Copies of this chain bind each other. A is one copy, B any other.
Amino acid sequence: MPEKGSYKTKQKEELVECIEDTRGKHFTAADICNKMRKNGSTIGTATVYRQLERLVDEGVISKYFIDESSSACFEYMDPDTHQKHAPCYHCKCEKCGKLLHMDCSEITELNEHLKAEHGFTIDPLRTVFYGICAECADK
C-alpha cells in the first residue's frame, strides 16, 4: 500500500524546482503561488501549503517568522551549503531579514552542554537564532 508523499506529480516537481530556484532568499506561500502561476502553472493554493508543509517535515526547507510580516517565511536549505560541513546554524536578522549561515564550534559546545546538563538535544535544522546582524547594528 502506498503512503503519503509517495506519488510523483507535476505540481510537486514544479514546486520543488521553483523553490530550488530561490537561491538563498526567503519566500512566503503566496510568493510561490504567484511565481508558479507566472510560469504557467495552475497549482492551487491548498496544494502549495500542503507541499510546503511536507518539505518542512523532510528538512528540505525551513519555516520561520519575521515580525513585520503576517505570513510565514520559508527558505530552501541548499544541500551544498547545509550538508557537507558540520551542522550549520541559522541567524536571522530581524531588521533586514537576511539569513546568515553559521558554522561555529561555540554553538556545538553549547549543544553538548545543553544535552549533558539540561537533557535537551537541539535540532540544528529547525533552530533559528533571531537578532540583529552586524550591518544593521552599525546603523
Interface residues in chain A, defined as those with a beta carbon under 8 Å from any beta carbon in chain B: 63-65, 67, 91, 93-94, 100, 102, 104, 106-107, 109-110, 113-114, 117-123, 126-134, 137
Contacts and interface: CB of A to CB of B under 8 A. Distances in A.
B104 A118 contact: yes
Most chain B CB within a 10 A radius of its CB, from A94, A119, A133: A119
> In the complex this chain forms, how many copies of it are found?
2
Tell me whether chain A's interface is mostly helix, strand or loop, or mixed: mixed
B123 A94 contact: yes
A57 to B, nearest CB: 11
A132 B121 contact: yes
21 contacts: A63-B67, A64-B67, A64-B130, A65-B67, A67-B126, A91-B122, A94-B126, A102-B118, A104-B114, A104-B117, A104-B118, A106-B109, A106-B113, A121-B137, A122-B130, A123-B130, A123-B131, A123-B132, A126-B130, A127-B128, A127-B130
